[in-house]
């Protein structure tokens, strides 16, 4: 038997790829090859919930992407560190579990993506979740991904944040994942017994010994191989040269919102003008590849505390060592949480049909991108979850080693900046409420000297920064949509044997962190692929 031929070749061992590999190999008659460009070794920092900052700084498990200058955001050049390891971004993310808003999925269905409504996707979320509150009727309780409610009451500042929200007249929502998203809340986290609960631990590690699953790490895929209009396999780089892995049925791109469109274009699938500029021969005209690229931009207001009540002491010196040792020995203490205990999903306008922005509260003041400042403080992060601006992601050359060119055009749409102005006003109002004011000495960023609509807008454009919720670059849509890359079955339009299954297929980003939805996309794709497998013959025979 040729071990380089399998039923399915999955490109990318990240969030979606791990789910697909686990689900498809539940059928012992189905063979799967999973190919990951990054390493297998994950280390203690991946398991430690509070290790995410150190993971980001070290960068060993990230793709070091950089966007082009953002013309509507002070020409900033921002880094995007996506996961480059088995488990992908699920292994390095902020551990917030947020399904999004029902309207997000209903929009997809109403745009022609049959089978992707909230009614279709909500049961899939339940299948995924292992929520540690058996009395909550809205969540799943037996799935592979642990979910727990944040414990704001155990942190002085997070507790004060929610109290300030109530004082300001905001609603306190007992469960933002119930289908009723609006309001302030304890955020849900992907942790179990003080450890990260990612897709590798939940899906892939328990099934690695299956004889019908082969996993290759440290091997970048160079291109998809086409025979006419059929994908038949992939060309992979190894230490000794290139090899070909062939698929009897489907090649599945699960490489993420940057690498999946990159691989399509390197394979000659995309807009003819884009491919011509990069020196890639056209194999299949598909102009939507790499378009519709977007994410949630972020800003953060930073405050200095009047009392030593932040988590600063656990992030430096002897306190940091003590927190690490406690976690190693008992899986408890400051290192056993992501510290994103509380947040909110809010609407900026009366005519908004879902939250426009998300707040995440951090009981620590950070300087720059990740460096902790040496004072007690807190930050109010604001993510523009209803963003309307769109960008692109395209290959710069015919080599997989050259990073794609991409940008998001942050704040190009006028409504985006108006949402942010209202969100800043909300954050400042919260800090002025008695519960938080009693613990607050000063606003450090942007500073009380920044007042008035023009000054606030200028600060927002200067300081708008990154979230890692990249989506949209292989947009899902019906066959009549000229800019859709995949159909509702996630098959690439006009080609046989090729699917894309990752966050890149989202027509519009969900109104929350995208981790949960990416897992749900992979679960639904596995369902569809199993049905197709049962009703069709293989395209390539060994």
Tokens for 242?
Answer: 């290139």
Per DSSP, what are the bridge partners of residue 285?
270
Cα radius of gyration rounded to whole Å, the chain: 23
Angstrom distance (rounded) from CA 498 to CA 360: 38
436-449 pLDDT, tens digit per residue, is: 999 999 999 999 99
- CA-based nearest residue to 197, from 71, 329, 48, 77: 48
What's the mean pLDDT in 5-17? Answer: 98
85-139 pLDDT, tens digit per residue, is: 999 999 999 999 999 999 999 999 999 999 999 999 999 999 999 998 878 999 9
94, 513 Cβ separation under 8 angstroms: yes
HEC readout, 427-450: HHHHHHCHHHHCCEEEEEECCCCC
Angstrom distance (rounded) from CA 483 to CA 290: 10
- Residues recognised as catalytic: 469
Which residues contact residue 299 at a Cβ distance below 8 angstroms, ignoring those fewer than 6 apart? 381, 382, 420, 424, 460, 463, 464, 465
Tokens for 17?
Answer: 């790829």
464-483 pLDDT, tens digit per residue, is: 998 999 999 999 999 999 99
Instruction: Please check the confidence at residue 370 and state whether its pLDDT lies above 70.
Output: no
Angstrom distance (rounded) from CA 94 to CA 99: 15
Give me the domains of the chain, ranges plus CATH numbers.
Answer: 151-186+298-383+412-463 (3.30.410.40)
Instruction: Please check the confidence at residue 542 and state whether its pLDDT lies above 60.
Output: no
**Residue 57: band (very low, low, confident or very high) from pLDDT cuts 50, 70, 90:** confident
Angstrom distance (rounded) from CA 12 to CA 35: 6
Instruction: Please check the confidence at residue 1 and state whether its pLDDT lies above 80.
Output: no
* 53 conformational bin, left if phi > 0, alpha if psi -120 to 50, beta if neither: alpha
- CA-based nearest residue to 311, from 379, 357, 253: 379
Angstrom distance (rounded) from CA 387 to CA 416: 6
> What local confidence, expressed as pLDDT, does residue 374 receive?
77
């Amino acid at each position: 038997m040729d071990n380089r031929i399998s039923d399915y070749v999955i490109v990318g061992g990240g969030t979606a790829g791990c789910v697909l590999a686990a689900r498809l190999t539940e059928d012992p008659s189905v063979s799967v090859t999973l190919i990951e460009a990054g390493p297998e070794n994950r280390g203690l920092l991946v398991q430690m919930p509070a290790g995410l900052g150190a993971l980001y700084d070290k960068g060993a498990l990230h793709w070091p992407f950089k966007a082009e200058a953002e013309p509507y955001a002070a020409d900033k050049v921002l880094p995007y560190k996506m996961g480059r390891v088995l488990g992908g971004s699920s292994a390095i993310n902020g551990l917030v579990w947020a399904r999004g808003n029902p309207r997000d999925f209903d929009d997809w269905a109403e745009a022609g993506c049959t089978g992707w409504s909230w009614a279709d996707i909500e049961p899939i979320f339940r299948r995924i979740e292992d929520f540690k509150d058996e009395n909550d009727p809205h969540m799943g309780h037996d799935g592979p991904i642990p979910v727990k409610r944040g414990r704001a009451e155990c942190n002085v500042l997070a507790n004060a944040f929610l109290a300030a929200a109530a004082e300001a007249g905001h609603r306190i929502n007992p469960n933002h994942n119930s289908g009723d998203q609006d309001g302030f809340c304890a955020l849900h986290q992907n942790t179990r017994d003080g450890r990260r609960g990612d897709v590798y631990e939940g899906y892939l590690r328990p099934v690695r010994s299956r004889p019908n699953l082969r996993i290759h790490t440290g091997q970048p895929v160079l291109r998809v191989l086409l025979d006419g209009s059929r994908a038949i396999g992939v060309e992979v780089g190894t230490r000794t040269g290139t090899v070909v892995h062939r698929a009897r049925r489907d090649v599945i791109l699960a490489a993420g919102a940057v690498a999946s469109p990159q691989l399509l274009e390197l394979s000659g699938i995309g807009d003819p003008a884009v491919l011509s500029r990069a020196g890639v021969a056209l194999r299949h005209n598909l102009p939507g590849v790499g378009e519709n690229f977007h994410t949630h931009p972020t800003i953060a207001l930073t405050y200095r505390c009047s009392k030593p009540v932040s988590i600063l002491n656990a992030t430096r010196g002897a306190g940091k060592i003590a927190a690490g040792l406690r976690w190693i020995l008992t899986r408890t203490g400051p290192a056993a949480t992501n510290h994103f205990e509380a947040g909110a999903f809010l609407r900026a306008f009366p005519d908004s049909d879902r939250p426009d922005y998300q707040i995440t509260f951090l009981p620590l003041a950070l300087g720059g991108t990740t460096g902790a400042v040496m004072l007690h403080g807190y930050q109010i992060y604001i993510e523009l979850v209803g963003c309307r601006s769109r960008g692109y992601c395209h290959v710069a050359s015919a080599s997989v080693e050259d990073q794609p060119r991409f940008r998001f055009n942050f704040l190009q749409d006028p409504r985006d900046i108006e949402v942010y102005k209202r969100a800043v006003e909300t954050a400042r109002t919260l800090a002025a409420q008695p519960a938080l004011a009693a613990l607050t000495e000063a606003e450090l960023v942007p500073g009380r000297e920044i007042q008035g609509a023009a000054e606030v807008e200028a600060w927002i454009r200067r300081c708008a920064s990154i979230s890692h919720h990249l989506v949209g670059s292989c947009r899902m849509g019906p066959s009549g949509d000229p800019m859709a890359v995949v159909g509702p079955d996630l098959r690439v339009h006009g080609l046989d044997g090729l699917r894309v299954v990752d966050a890149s297929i989202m027509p519009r980003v969900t109104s929350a962190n995208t981790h949960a939805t990416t897992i749900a996309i992979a679960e639904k794709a596995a369902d569809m692929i199993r049905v197709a497998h049962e009703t069709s013959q293989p395209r390539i025979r060994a």
